[in-house]
Amino acid sequence: MTEDSATPQRLLDAAEVLLGERGSTAMSVRDVLARAGVANASAVGYYFGSKDALVAAVERRAVEQVNAERAAALEAAAEPSLEDLVRGWVSPLVRLRCAGRGPSTARVFMRIFDEPQEQWASNGAHEVMEVGWRYMAASGPYLPGVDRPELLWRWQAVTAVMAFYSHGYLEPFGEAPSPDDVERHLALLVPQGIALLQAGR
């Protein structure tokens, strides 16, 4: 890979870390260039068009990765159990949180709904919701008597726990995780997610 061909990836990676740490408002193009080690001040404009387009590209990259894994997990089981569903929903974020890149991608993913709704089509939030509806529908038979608004609220509660986890506010073993910790973390988070879905039964 040449220096020029590597530049967009370096810009995306740098912006992902800064977005995860600061959010888009506090992230400047200058900061992205400095973190990426790119001297050309017009590189973001050349490759992405604008800072906003770079932010959208980072968000979509995170969304596409998580959504693809969630969709694959849902399709892998003909009749997924409630445990399968929770595991499929939370596993991509656990893997991201435990990855060598750190929590940046997971944080970016969890922040997409902080953007104004008119940006949801470009940042991938709509696609996340579409996959979420499929998970919610698949969980319905395991939660008889729970109506759609309540079921949505319960899945949002599972997602809220994952937001805290993704941001590093929940460190179940008192230290930042490594790639070897995925199953150990899932062993704690999946039962908690099931409990939230079954609350009040």
Render pLDDT for 62-107 as a digit per residue (tens, 0 to 9).
Answer: 888 899 999 999 999 888 999 999 999 999 999 988 886 656 777 7
CATH of the domain at 94: 1.10.357
| Torsional class of 200: left (φ above 0), alpha (ψ -120 to 50), beta (otherwise) | left
Q: What is the pLDDT of residue 49?
A: 93
Domain presence at residue 51: no
Domain that holds residue 145: 59-197
Domain presence at residue 10: no
Q: What is the pLDDT of residue 4?
A: 66
For the record, the structure tokens of 52 come out as 């906003």
Quote the number of domains for the chain: 1
Maximum CA pair distance of the chain? 60
Helices (H), ranges, the chain: 3-22, 29-36, 43-48, 51-76, 82-98, 104-111, 120-123, 125-139, 148-166, 182-197
Domain presence at residue 68: yes
| Residue 39: pLDDT over 70 | yes
- Which pLDDT band, with edges at 50, 70 and 90, does 5 fall under? low
* Mean residue pLDDT across the chain: 88
| Greater model confidence, 34 or 112 | 34
Q: What is the pLDDT of residue 1?
A: 40
Do 60 and 123 touch, CB atoms closer than 8 A?
yes
| Residue 123: pLDDT over 70 | yes
Domain presence at residue 88: yes
* CA 101 to chain centroid: 13
